[in-house]
A and B are shown apart, each in its own frame.
Chain A
Amino acid sequence: MTTLAIQAYRLHLPNTARPVLAGVDLTVEARETVALVGESGSGKSLTSRSALGLLPTGAGTEGTVRVNGDDVLTMTGDQLRALRTGTAAMIFQDPRAAINPLRRLGDFLTEGLNGRLAAGAATERAAEMLDAVGLPASVLGRYPGQLSGGMLQRVMIAGALMGDPALILADEPTTALDVSSQAEVVALLDDLQERFGTALLFVTHDLGLAAAISDRVYVMYAGRIVETGPAEALFNRPRHPYTAALLASTPRPDAPGGRLAAIEGRPPSLREALTGCPFAPRCPLATFLCTQQEPALLAVEAESARRAACHHSDRTGANDG
Chain B
Amino acid sequence: MSFLRFAARRLAEMAATLVGASFVIFGAMYLAPGSPASFLLAGRSASPEALAAVNAQYHLDEPFLLQYLRWAGQILHGDFGRSITYRTDVSRLLADRLPATLLLVAMALVLVVTLGLLLGWIGAVRGGRTDATVLVGTTVAVGTPAFVAAVLLQGLFAVRLGWFPTGGTGEGFGSMVWHLVLPAVALALYLTGMLARVTRAAMLDVLGQEHVTVARSRGVTEYQVIRRHVFRNALGTVLTTGGLIVSTLLVCTVLVETAFSVGGIGQLLELSTTTKDFPTVQAISLIMVGLFMAVNLIVDLLHPLVDPRITLGARKATG
Q: Do A and B come from one complex?
A: yes
Stretch in A31-39, A77-85, A226-234 touching the partner: A77-85
Given contacts A100-B228, A107-B228, 16 further A-B contacts (CB under 8 A): A81-B221, A83-B219, A84-B216, A84-B217, A85-B219, A89-B218, A92-B214, A94-B210, A98-B210, A101-B211, A103-B229, A103-B232, A111-B220, A111-B228, A112-B220, A114-B219
The chain B residue with its CB closest to the CB of A54 is: B217
For A143, the chain B residues whose CB sits under 8 A away are 308-309
- Min CB distance B131 to A, Å, is 16
For B220, the chain A residues whose CB sits under 8 A away are 111-112, 114
- Min CB distance A4 to B, Å, is 15
Report yes or no: A111 in contact with B209, Cβ–Cβ below 8 A.
no
For A65, the chain B residues whose CB sits under 8 A away are none
Interface residues of A (CB under 8 A from B): 49, 52, 54, 80-86, 89-90, 92, 94, 97-103, 107, 111-112, 114, 143, 145, 159, 163
Where chain B touches its partner, the secondary structure class is helix
Q: Offer 29 A-B interface pairs, CB within 8 angstroms, sorted by A.
A: A54-B213, A54-B216, A81-B219, A82-B219, A83-B219, A84-B216, A84-B218, A85-B219, A86-B219, A89-B218, A90-B217, A90-B218, A92-B214, A98-B211, A100-B211, A100-B215, A100-B228, A100-B229, A101-B211, A101-B308, A102-B232, A102-B236, A107-B228, A111-B228, A112-B219, A114-B218, A114-B220, A143-B308, A145-B309
For A89, the chain B residues whose CB sits under 8 A away are 218
A102 to B234: give the CA distance in the assembly, Å: 10
- Min CB distance B171 to A, Å, is 47
Interface presence of B233 (CB below 8 A)? yes
For A107, the chain B residues whose CB sits under 8 A away are 228
Interface presence of B307 (CB below 8 A)? yes
Q: A85-B218, A112-B220, A159-B218 are in contact. Are A102 and B307 (CB under 8 A)?
A: yes
The chain B residue with its CB closest to the CB of A104 is: B308
For B38, the chain A residues whose CB sits under 8 A away are none
A175 to B85: give the CA distance in the assembly, Å: 75
A274 to B308: give the CA distance in the assembly, Å: 50
Interface presence of B319 (CB below 8 A)? yes
The chain B residue with its CB closest to the CB of A160 is: B218
Report yes or no: B217 in contact with A52, Cβ–Cβ below 8 A.
yes
A46 to B266: give the CA distance in the assembly, Å: 60
Which of B210, B218, B306 has the most chain A CB atoms closer than 10 A to its own CB? B218
The chain B residue with its CB closest to the CB of A83 is: B219
For A101, the chain B residues whose CB sits under 8 A away are 211, 308-309
Interface presence of B224 (CB below 8 A)? yes
Which of B210, B217, B220 has the most chain A CB atoms closer than 10 A to its own CB? B217
